[in-house]
Structure formats: C-alpha cells, structure tokens
C-alpha cells in the first residue's frame, strides 16, 4: 500500500486533477491520497491558500470581503465546471466559506479554519472526480482519519495517539482522499500545520498505515545534485538517504517541508519524489540506507543570507564558561543562531541574517563588550553557506582536498570550513558574491572530473 | 630598560650563573632580572623545586627530612663555593629552610613557602655574584617589589594594584634581582603562582616598569616552525605575534607558560625568547603586530590525547536548546571540553582525554541517551590535533587547499577541519597514528615547496 501526496501545482486546475486521477488509477496500491490546496496555474498566479489568507484577514478585521470570496469561488467553479462535477459541491464550498466566520469567533482559530478550506475542497473535488471516472473513492476528513494535533494554531504538531487511529484507515474500502495541512485538537478545534504542511499530513498517514512507499508528487522530475540555476542540466539524484536530504534541504534544497520527513524517517518508510507532469520519470527515492556506488558526493547545496559574529579574547579558552555566557546573551535577546565553532581564543557564531536584525546587532555587541570584555567583536554579513553532502564522505581520503582545490581554482577565499561534526557533509562559508563561481567549480570537480578519491 | 628572566637551566650551576652574569653585564639596559630556581644540570638530574616539594611533604607529614635537606644544601653549597660567594649566604639558606616550618603552621602555606626558597636563593646568589664581578646589584624580595597576589596558594593571580607599586622600582639604582614564582597576599602571606610561574613574574615586572623588551632566557636558540622531533632542523621562527604564539602553545609548543604572556600582551611589550648558552643567536621575538613577508604559515603545532564525542539526532537543529543541554551535562559532571562544532543534525564535542576519564564516559553517555534521546552517540579516542598557524591565513586563497593536499599526499584521512573561527589558525583532527606522516607532509608543503598562495 502506498500513500501519494499531490502538491499545489498538481491540484492547480482541472487539467492537473485529471493527471492526478490517472496517476491514482495507474497503480491500485495507491490507496491513500493526500492533497494540497490548488496552487499556481502560471507564474504570476496566486495560490488558493494566499487567497484564503486574504479572505481570513478581511473577516478578522471586519472589512469588505466580497471581492476575495468571488475570486475563490471563481477558481473552484472553474475546476468543478471543467471536470463536470456535481454542482452541489460548489454550494457546499460557498456555505463553508461563509459559515466559517460564525463557527470560529476566535481570530487565530478563524484563520486556521479559513486556510483549511483550500485543502478540504481539493480533496472533495478529487474524490468526486475519481468516482466519476469509475474509481471507488471517499473523501475522509482529517478528524475521521485520526489526525489529532496539539493546540498551536498555524504551527500544530501531531500527537502520538494519532498513529493508532490512522492505522484503522487500512480497513476501509476503496481509495481514501484526505485533505493535507490540517487536523483537530483533542477538543475538536481545527488547527493547521505550518505553511506547506500537506507534506506532513502525507508523511504522518504513511507512518500510520505503515505504507510501503510515500510518494510525494510535485512538479520536478527529481532532486538535482546542484541548483540548476547555477549549473545547466545537473546530474539527477536517483537515491539518497534521509540525512543527506536533511543536509541538502538546510541549504536551499526546498523540495520538501523539513518536518515532513520526521514521521517517515521514524517509521523507516521510503519517500519518492515524483513529477505529476511526467509520472514515468524515475524520480528521487529517499531511504534509510543506500549503496555508495563509487559516488562520494551526492549533492551540493547552498544558501545565502548568513552572517558571522566573531569574538576574540586573549586566553579565552582558560576563561571557564565564556562560550556559554556568550550564547546566553543571544538567548536573552531572543536571537537564535545556527553554529558556534570555536578556536583557542576566539569564537564564531553563525546566524541567518533574518534572525539578527540590525537593530539587535547594536544591542548584542554592546552587551558582549560590557559583559565579556573581549579583545575584538565584529559582525560580517553577506555570507553564503555551501554544503557538500554525501554518505561517502566519511573515511574518504582526499574528499576535502577536492573541495578546497575547487575553491582555489575558482579563486574563491574560504571564510569558514566545518568538517567532521557531520558524517555526511562538509560546510563551507564564503562571500555570497563568490557563490555561483564556487558552486560551478565544485560541481565540475565532484560530478564531471570525479578525480580519484580512495 | 629591559626585563630579563632566566629559567631553571640558566640557574642550574655555577657555570650557568656565570653565563647569566655575563649576559647581564653585556647590556646595561638589562636592569630587572627575574630568576627561576636551579633546574636540571643534566637529563637525569632533579630540579631544585622538586627537591623542595619533597622536603615540604616530609615537613607536612612529619616524616624524617634530613636527607632532603642535605641534598638541597649540597646543591646550594656547590654553587656558592664554585662562585666563591660569601659563606654567610649558606647559613641564611640553612636557617630559612629550617625556620619555614615554624613560620607557616598551615599546610598549604608551608608548601608554598618551601617551594619559594628555590627562586629566593637563586636571586640572592646571582645578586651576590653580580656585585662580586663589579656590577651594582640588589636582591629585591617580591614583597618589596610590589607583587601583591590573590590568596590562592599554588595558583595565585596578580592583583591590579601591584603594577603601580612595581613601577616605583624604576627609581632604584643598579640592577635589581627579583626571585620569580612567588609574591604575597595583602595580608602578607607568601603564595606562589602555578608551576613554571617565574615566567609570570617576569611578564608582570615588564608590564609594571613598562619595559622596552621582556627577554626570556631559556635553553633553545628559538621557537621552531615545527616540532624538531618530527622534522630535522626545521625553520626557526624569528618573529611572531602573541596570538600566533598562543595558538602554537595550545598544541604542544611549550616554550612558555600560557598565563605568562598576559601582562606583556596587555602592556604591548615585545617578548624575546633567547638562549643563555648561545646569547648571540637571533632568538624569537613575540610582538603585537608584524609584517607578513610573504610567509603565510608561521608554524605547525600538534598534540595528541584528544577524543571526540559525536551525537546525532534527526532534526536536531530545530530542537531549541539541544546544544546547551548537551554542554550542561558535561558541566554537571565536572568535565571540561575544548570545542563543540555542530552540523545540521549533529554535534561533536572535542575533549582532552585526560579530562574525560573512562569511568565518566559511561555516565555521560547514559545521561545523553536518557535526557536527550539522540539517534546515535559515540566516542572516538586517540585523536591528534594539528594547528596550522599564521597571521597570513586570513584572506589567503588556497591556503586550506595546501593543507588538505598535504594530508592527501600523506594518505591521511582528515576526521575534522575547523577553519574560520580563528583568524590565525586552521585546526585539523586526525588519528594519532597518522600524526608524524601528516606533519612532515604539511611542513614540506608550507616551508619547503611553498607553493603559490595569493
């Protein structure tokens, strides 16, 4: 039995829903279907979820909302009409879009409930269409499915008791279409995961029913070994491990919602990334373990927007608790950091720039000066992080040398190297302006020349 | 005005004292002389301080002490006799060695007071000999000199009010000979610095009198760029910065007492490492800033006896406070660590093996398992740390590549790279068994081939 999750682009239009239905039809083991809200039909289009957020805001601020409501109903009407589905579906949608206001007097609850209508109507339309083409399918509300979540609107977490309840779904007949992104608290209140959370629903259902495979249908043929914006037609990754995926997704590989992998990871369920628009493409399989096949590096990820706070103090390493006091200042100021590598008499703290706004920078530097009396303290911004990721990295002589050689060839200065704390990655910090150059050189070295590594 | 400090080997015998006196005579600006206790005359010899510690133990445990007392008096007698110094010096030493027991009823105080007799008698003998050869010199007791220390027997720290008092010494005439290693609390109790603390006294006096130079006379011509045990006749370092010296001394370059550099560093006084047995050799100068002269790497230090605790947990970096909780466990257990580099979902903690005894290992691993629920936790021992040190490292393209290439040539697997947290060093972790090979290859690359670095 498989769980297949279809993302926003797969649900964006009648035409896309037909592709989805064919994919479901093609493989009888695709029993559990989880769907996102309709996404963009073209680049400038607006996602259904964003339309719903606008409507929710209008409701909350008691502003006119007819315009938003009309746009939403138009999109739903278009799909229902083109698929020739029963018109009473539309009436049902219209009613829920209006009644949601009365049912959820609390603002946060109201927003979650409005957002959830996107996935909910997607599931109802797909279920209706599957039945229309002769597949026995039922819409299953997440409450009925057993998705019991913590009471954290907009950022809910699954509760462990859910999984037993979800397992019971296996007894039901036919294809089950479940809306992603939301569930219910123990008290029965609708709450959503964080944005993009349909991936999480799919992963939870896959773990609950102990699926043989969790298929995640999106609009790319596979995960690429490097960002195609930097290197044309890069090598596709056909198989990688959960932890490789994690390291890659940290630095810019955003195929997948980070949290979404957890339930599948714990239940050791393989995850396939597939393309709704090209379902016969091999795709990418995420597994617990894999053969190395001689390829040491699996992918090269990168992300910009980092900054580095550098503190030095003579004989720092004899001053007990210096590092802890430094990190406590960030905690006090509500600033979260990424890494804190230390030398003998110095410490670097790496942040995402969005977590260290300039107005906080001054406060933090003053506190460090006054409380820790360092010799120097400075911040450098505009740093890019590159992750070279691969299960083969451990115990490979020369693999770091290949990277540093690639940076040297590209005439790129390396600000930071962090190797060894992860078994499957090496992390480099460089100036963001050097990023494209560096990535091309690394790709050339690891994937084109593949110089000898033992 | 210069401060010259002479170490144990320079004070070991009459012959050595004559060399010292000539060095003092040679340069009229050598006004402040700080001395250690007599050190070893030959490899199997016992240092005066160790003889005194044995005597102190006998006193404290009320055991027979005549034997220890005799050995000590024999060594002092030998020097006094060979230098033909006044015999009443010996009587003075004999009295202080016996009376110290009565003057210090408290055990810790007694041990500090016994140990201090080594430096004290050194200073008195040198002062007498200088006068004998026609140099106007006076012995100055540390109390008179103004060395006011915290009340921490065996590990005292200088108190800030000392420096003003020490400055007054400039007004005194002639050469001043001050015993190193000890001082007095505000209440007048004799206390010593940590072992090797004569370097500290010298540095404090240099800062107090604002010397143009602090000369540290020892028994090596200079600091070498790499351990001569691994590479025969390595390049000498003629000039390096305080922070280069610090990074090198962290990993095995033990020319100097770590703490000793602080007062000189804060007062920006250059420190010269010189050889009593070859005083015309250029030596090594430690300064605040220096020209780079095209040499990017100044020295390569290494040390063994490290271990690495590795913890991984899926989505660790989303678990707020994970790192802090991990480090708190070590603090709880009284185990101090060196570095804690982190990846995305993993963290390494580097210890000196002596700080993580095997009986603690089990306790700590169990606590990590029970309190943090990681996916994996493991310890690997037998790790060597290599520090590649140089002011030129920052902004040098290719310098990391040169290192990784050297490791690859030596067929050495790199377990850890930490670059960028220090401006003047790169840190590598490898298996201790690979150390010699790796060091030779690094030396070859940075000092012999010196391949092009921009």
Distance (Å, rounded) from C-alpha B116 to C-alpha B97?
10
Average pLDDT over residues A64-87: 96
Which tens digits make up the pLDDT trace of B14-24? Answer: 999 999 999 99
User: With the C-alpha atoms ordered A441, A442, A444, A445, is the resulting torsion angle positive or negative?
Assistant: positive
Distance (Å, rounded) from C-alpha A278 to C-alpha B171?
91
Same domain, B181 and B84: yes
Residue A393 has pLDDT above 70, yes or no: yes
Q: DSSP 3-state assignment of A43?
A: coil
Contact between B419 and A414 (Cβ < 8 Å): yes
For residue B167, give the DSSP letter. Answer: H
Same domain, B346 and B212: no
Phi, psi of A405 (to 5 degrees): -65, -40
- Looking at residue B454, what is its pLDDT? 43
Most confident of A258-272, A329-343, A357-371, B171-185: B171-185
Which of A176, A203, A219 represents a domain boundary (last residue)?
A219
- Looking at residue A441, what is its pLDDT? 96
Contacts of residue A259, defined as CB under 8 A and 6 or more positions apart, other chains included, come to A193, A194, A197, A200, B315, B318
The residue of A420, A441, A451 whose CB has the most chain B CBs within 10 angstroms, and thus the best one to mutate to test that interface, is A420
Contacts of residue B428, defined as CB under 8 A and 6 or more positions apart, other chains included, come to B385, B386, B387, B388, B403, B407, B414, B416, B417, B418, B438
- Looking at residue A452, what is its pLDDT? 47
Chain A residue with minimal CA distance to B330? A321
Residues A400, B423: C-beta atoms closer than 8 Å: no
Most confident of A104-113, A333-342, B432-441: B432-441
Residues of chain B positioned with their CB less than 8 A from the CB of A320: 336
Query: Closest Cα partner for B281 from B77, B58, B23?
Result: B23
The length of chain B is 454
CA atoms within 13 Å, Cβ hemisphere of B368? 26
Residues B314, A427: C-beta atoms closer than 8 Å: no
Distance (Å, rounded) from C-alpha B401 to C-alpha A441?
14
Same domain, B125 and B22: yes
- Looking at residue A58, what is its pLDDT? 95
A422 beta partners: none
Q: Is A157 on the interface with B (CB under 8 A)?
A: no
Query: Closest Cα partner for B50 from B71, B33, B64?
Result: B71
Contact between B309 and B371 (Cβ < 8 Å): no
Task: Give domain status of residue B338, yes or no.
Answer: yes
Contact between A7 and A151 (Cβ < 8 Å): no
Place of tokens 């979540």: A149
Which tens digits make up the pLDDT trace of B98-123? Answer: 999 989 888 889 999 999 999 999 99
Same domain, B149 and B42: yes
Contacts of residue B366, defined as CB under 8 A and 6 or more positions apart, other chains included, come to none
Residue A453 has pLDDT above 80, yes or no: no
Distance (Å, rounded) from C-alpha B88 to C-alpha B84?
11
Residues A405, B407: C-beta atoms closer than 8 Å: no
Task: Give domain status of residue B233, yes or no.
Answer: no
Average pLDDT, chain A: 92
Q: Is B404 on the interface with A (CB under 8 A)?
A: yes
- Residue A362 CB neighbour total at 10 angstroms: 9
Residue B187 has pLDDT above 70, yes or no: yes
Structure tokens at B407: 């490791």
Residues B404, A400: C-beta atoms closer than 8 Å: yes
Distance (Å, rounded) from C-alpha A388 to C-alpha B344?
12
Distance (Å, rounded) from C-alpha B342 to C-alpha B349?
9
Same domain, B313 and B179: no
Which tens digits make up the pLDDT trace of B41-95? Answer: 999 999 999 999 999 999 999 999 999 999 999 999 999 999 999 999 999 999 9
Chain A residue with minimal CA distance to B347? A421
Burial class (CB in 10 A: 0-12, 13-18, 19+), B279: middle
Which tens digits make up the pLDDT trace of A119-134? Answer: 999 999 999 999 999 9
Contact between B116 and B181 (Cβ < 8 Å): yes
Place of tokens 């019991």: A148
Residue B371 has pLDDT above 50, yes or no: yes
Residues A314, B412: C-beta atoms closer than 8 Å: no
Same domain, A7 and A115: yes
Task: Give domain status of residue B54, yes or no.
Answer: yes
Average pLDDT, chain B: 92
Residues of chain A positioned with their CB less than 8 A from the CB of B341: 339, 341-342, 418, 420-421
Phi, psi of A261 (to 5 degrees): -75, -20
For residue B344, give the DSSP letter. Answer: S
A336 to chain B nearest CA, in Å?
9
DSSP characters over A286-352 = EES----TT----EEEEEEEEEEEEEE-TTGGGSTTHHHHHHHHHHHTT---SB--B-SSEEEEEEE
Contact between A264 and A272 (Cβ < 8 Å): no
CA atoms within 13 Å, Cβ hemisphere of A283? 20
Q: Is A415 on the interface with B (CB under 8 A)?
A: yes
C-alpha A133, offset from chain centre: 33
For residue B117, the surrounding DSSP H or E stretch is helix B107-132
A224 beta partners: A236
Q: Look up the ipTM and state it.
A: 0.77
Distance (Å, rounded) from C-alpha A202 to C-alpha B148?
71
Which of A191, A219, A247 represents a domain boundary (last residue)?
A219
Instruction: Give me the residue from A314, A339, A426 closest to B262, CB to CB.
Output: A314
Same domain, A335 and A436: yes
Residue B275 has pLDDT above 90, yes or no: yes
CA distances from B201 to A221, B136, B138, B286 (A): 71, 22, 17, 17
Residue A204 has pLDDT above 90, yes or no: yes
Contacts of residue B1, defined as CB under 8 A and 6 or more positions apart, other chains included, come to B29, B31, B32, B170, B209, B211, B212
Same domain, B348 and B212: no
A396 beta partners: none
Same domain, B318 and B434: yes
Q: Is B174 on the interface with A (CB under 8 A)?
A: no
Residue B35 has pLDDT above 70, yes or no: yes
Instruction: Give me the residue from B262, B345, B416 closest to A246, CB to CB.
Output: B345
Average pLDDT over residues A6-24: 97
- Looking at residue B451, what is its pLDDT? 55
Place of tokens 């493989």: A27
Distance (Å, rounded) from C-alpha B291 to C-alpha B100?
51
Distance (Å, rounded) from C-alpha B12 to C-alpha B219?
11
Instruction: Give me the residue from B343, B420, B421 closest to A425, CB to CB.
Output: B343
Residues of chain B positioned with their CB less than 8 A from the CB of A317: 250, 338
Task: Give domain status of residue A260, yes or no.
Answer: no
DSSP characters over A416-450 = EEEESSSSSEEEEEEEGGGHHHHHHHHHIIIIII-
Residues B422, A346: C-beta atoms closer than 8 Å: yes
- Looking at residue B302, what is its pLDDT? 93
Out of A155-159, B192-196, B253-257, B381-385, least confident range:
B253-257
Q: What is the CATH number of the domain that holds B54?
A: 3.40.1160.10
- Identify the domain containing residue B390 by its residue range: 299-449
Same domain, A89 and A193: yes
Distance (Å, rounded) from C-alpha B195 to C-alpha B156?
11
Place of tokens 């002092």: B76
Virtual torsion, Cα B68, B72, B78, B80, nearest 10 deg: -150
Chain A residue with minimal CA distance to B310? A421
Task: Give domain status of residue B250, yes or no.
Answer: no
Task: Give domain status of residue B113, yes or no.
Answer: yes
Structure tokens at B300: 């390569």
CA distances from A309 to A376, A434, B99, B152 (A): 10, 20, 57, 36
Out of A160-164, A166-170, B353-357, least confident range:
B353-357
Q: What is the CATH number of the domain that holds B400?
A: 3.30.2130.10
Residues A246, B411: C-beta atoms closer than 8 Å: no
- Looking at residue B255, what is its pLDDT? 65
Residues B417, A419: C-beta atoms closer than 8 Å: yes
Same domain, A194 and A306: no
Instruction: Give me the residue from B246, B345, B405 closest to A401, CB to CB.
Output: B405
Residues of chain A positioned with their CB less than 8 A from the CB of B425: 343-344
- Residue A439 CB neighbour total at 10 angstroms: 25
Which tens digits make up the pLDDT trace of B228-244? Answer: 889 999 999 999 999 89
Task: Give domain status of residue B391, yes or no.
Answer: yes
Distance (Å, rounded) from C-alpha B355 to C-alpha B351?
7
Same domain, B58 and B172: yes
B272 to chain A nearest CA, in Å?
19
Phi, psi of B275 (to 5 degrees): -110, 115
pLDDT band (50, 70, 90) for residue A252: low
Structure tokens at A313: 């103090």
Q: DSSP 3-state assignment of B192?
A: strand
Q: DSSP 3-state assignment of B37?
A: coil
The residue of B309, B322, B342, B344 whose CB has the most chain A CBs within 10 angstroms, and thus the best one to mutate to test that interface, is B344
Q: Is B420 on the interface with A (CB under 8 A)?
A: yes
Phi, psi of B339 (to 5 degrees): -145, 155
CA atoms within 13 Å, Cβ hemisphere of A389? 29
A314 to chain B nearest CA, in Å?
8
Which of A185, A219, A253 represents a domain boundary (last residue)?
A219
Task: Give domain status of residue A191, yes or no.
Answer: yes
Q: Is B246 on the interface with A (CB under 8 A)?
A: yes
The length of chain A is 454
Q: Is A199 on the interface with B (CB under 8 A)?
A: no
Distance (Å, rounded) from C-alpha A165 to C-alpha A141?
13
pLDDT band (50, 70, 90) for residue A340: confident
Instruction: Give me the residue from B346, B397, B411 closest to A411, CB to CB.
Output: B397
Distance (Å, rounded) from C-alpha A118 to C-alpha A54?
13
For residue B404, the surrounding DSSP H or E stretch is helix B399-409
Residues A421, B342: C-beta atoms closer than 8 Å: yes
Domain count, chain A: 2
């Amino acid at each position: 039995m498989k769980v297949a999750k279809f993302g926003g682009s797969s649900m964006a239009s009648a035409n896309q829903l037909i592709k989805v239905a064919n994919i479901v039809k093609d493989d009888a083991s695709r029993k559990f279907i989880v769907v996102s809200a309709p996404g963009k039909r073209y680049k400038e289009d607006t996602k259904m979820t964003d339309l719903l957020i606008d409507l929710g805001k209008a409701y909350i601020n008691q502003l006119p909302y007819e315009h938003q409501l009309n746009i939403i109903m138009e999109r739903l009407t278009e799909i229902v009409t083109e698929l020739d589905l029963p018109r009473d579906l539309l009436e049902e949608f219209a009613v829920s879009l209006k009644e949601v206001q009365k049912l959820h007097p609390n603002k946060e609850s109201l927003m979650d409930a409005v957002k959830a209508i996107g996935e909910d109507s997607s599931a109802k339309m797909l279920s209706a269409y599957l039945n229309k083409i002769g597949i026995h399918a039922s819409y299953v509300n997440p409450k009925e499915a057993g998705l019991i979540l913590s009471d954290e609107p907009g950022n809910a977490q699954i509760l462990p008791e859910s999984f037993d309840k979800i397992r019971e779904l296996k007894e039901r007949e036919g294809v089950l279409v479940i809306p992603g992104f939301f569930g219910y608290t123990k008290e029965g209140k609708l709450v959503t995961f964080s944005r993009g959370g349909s991936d999480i629903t799919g992963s939870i259902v896959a773990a609950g029913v102990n699926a043989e495979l969790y298929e995640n249908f999106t609009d790319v043929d596979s995960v690429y070994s490097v960002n195609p914006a930097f290197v044309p037609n890069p090598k596709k990754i056909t198989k990688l491990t959960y932890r490789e995926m994690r390291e890659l997704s940290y630095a810019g590989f955003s195929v997948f919602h980070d949290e979404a992998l957890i339930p599948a990871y714990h239940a050791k369920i393989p995850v396939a990334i597939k393309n709704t628009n090209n379902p016969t493409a091999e795709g990418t399989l995420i597994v617990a373990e894999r053969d190395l096949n001689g390829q040491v590096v699996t992918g090269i990820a990168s992300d910009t927007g980092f900054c580095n706070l550098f503190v030095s103090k003579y004989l720092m390493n004899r001053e007990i608790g210096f590092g802890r006091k430094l990190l406590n200042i960030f905690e006090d100021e509500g600033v979260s950091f990424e890494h804190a590598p230390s030398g003998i008499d110095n410490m670097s703290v790496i942040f995402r720039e969005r977590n260290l706004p300039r107005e906080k920078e001054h406060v933090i530097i003053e506190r460090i000066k006054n409380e820790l009396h360092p010799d120097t303290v400075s911040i450098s911004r505009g740093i890019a992080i590159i992750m070279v990721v691969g299960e083969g990295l451990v115990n490979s002589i020369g693999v770091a040398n290949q990277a540093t050689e690639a940076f040297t060839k590209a005439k790129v200065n390396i600000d930071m190297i962090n190797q060894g704390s992860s078994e499957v990655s090496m992390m480099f910090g460089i100036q963001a302006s050097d990023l494209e150059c560096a990535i091309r050189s690394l790709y050339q070295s690891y994937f084109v020349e593949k110089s000898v590594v033992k």
